[in-house]
Structure 1
Amino acid sequence: MNRVDHIGIAVSSIEHVLPFYEQTLGLKLLKMEEVASQGVKVAFIDGGNIKLELLEPLHKESPVAKFIEKRGEGIHHVAFGVQDIEDRLAELKEKGVKMINESPKQGAGGAMVAFMHPKSSHGVLYELCNKSNTKEDLA
């Protein structure tokens, strides 16, 4: 893993929570977009040394909607940036890591992404993403 790329935070409404991040914490919104393949609307927030990704479900069948229903709003995943996601997936599978995504999918910010199953990572949902989603990329 090259670095922690971002931390995903599940929210019921980006519109409702965004003032906390912008006005209360003084952070800057970088970009918002919908990611149909994941069933979410996302907002990237500049956290200084790391990005925060607010995740709002687009429908009740969205994995994020199910997460919020089961656990409530809060930290959803930690994303690691990787150079070659296909090679990294193969390496993890060889090591016995169960994956939610057997192959990469289109994610937010133009990145290809894949998630590790929390049962293989001690209860934490980890995402692999092959694009940095730097502040410049998101502008």
Structure 2
Amino acid sequence: MPKLKFDHIAFLVRDLDQAVRDYQQILSVLDPEHAQQIVWDEGEADGYKLRWATFVNPHGTSIQFFESQHPADQKLLEKYGERVHHIAFTTSDLAQTIEELQRAGIPLTSAEPTGPSNIPWLKWVFVPPRKAHGVLIEVATRYRVEGNRWVPDLEEETEGAPQGAS
């Protein structure tokens, strides 16, 4: 069975740079350690430009903001404004996790995983909000932060040990 982790909460925003500045200010008071490391990246998903920044939480769930040119995301911004877009779980085996979701009768927004074109190892699928009581759930390839970049997390975990322990 794949190892899964509740990884991050992602916000869809109009201005990524402003959102990061605002949350640096907020987190510097509420959780200063959480404000210390930000991983920035960009790419294309489904042919549309995407930029994101993640406040890495060394002890739990990270906070991510992203700016997207995808028409569906632009429509969401027009209709609802900036908001929580999804919650995300990462998995050590995306293909097997997709199979398990499908066997359990849990719908996905697409049959095939997608991801940013410039990070070919990073893939994701979504459980639609209609199944998850209004919340979009992302299931993505497991990753870790190395330096200031995301890299695939291929390290095997010891059964029963916390993530990162061996």
Structure 1 length as normaliser, TM-score? 0.83
> Aligned in 2, Cα 1:138/1:105: closer, same or farther, shift over 3 Å?
farther
Change (3 A) 1:69 1:3: same
Query: Given the alignment, which residue of 43, 46, 49 partners 2:53?
Result: 43
Q: How many residues align?
A: 136
Q: Which moved more, 1:105-114 or 1:76-85?
A: 105-114
TM-superposition CA deviations, 1:36-57 (whole Å, max 9, x none)? 1153211111234221110112
Of 104, 109, 113, 2:124 maps to: 113
Name whichever structure is richer in helix by fraction.
1
Runs of 5+ consecutive residues of structure 1 not aligned to the other structure: none
Equivalent residue in structure 1 for 2:78, among 46, 69, 79: 69
User: Structure 1 residues 6 and 138, CA, compared in 2 at 3 Å: closer, same or farther?
Assistant: farther
Q: 1:126 to 1:137 in 2, by over 3 A?
A: farther
How far apart, in 2, do the equivalents of 1:41 and 1:33 lie? 6
Runs of 4+ in structure 1 deviating by more than 4 angstroms, as ranges, are: 107-110
Measured in 1, the distance between the counterparts of 2:147 and 2:126 equals: 22
Partner letter of residue 94 of structure 1?
A: R
Q: RMSD in angstroms over aligned alpha carbons?
A: 2.2
SS class of match (1:119): coil
Whether 1:136 and 2:146 are equivalent positions in the alignment is: yes
Return the TM-score normalized by structure 2: 0.71
Q: Name 1:92's counterpart in structure 2.
A: 101
Q: Could you say if the C-alpha distance between residues 73 and 29 of structure 1 is closer, same or farther in structure 2, counting changes exceeding 3 Å?
A: farther
Given that 2:39 and 2:56 are in contact with CA atoms closer than 8 Å, whether structure 1 keeps it comes out as: no
Instruction: State the secondary structure of the residue aligned to 1:80.
Output: strand
Bigger Rg, structure 1 or 2: 2
* Counterpart amino acid of residue 97 in structure 2: R
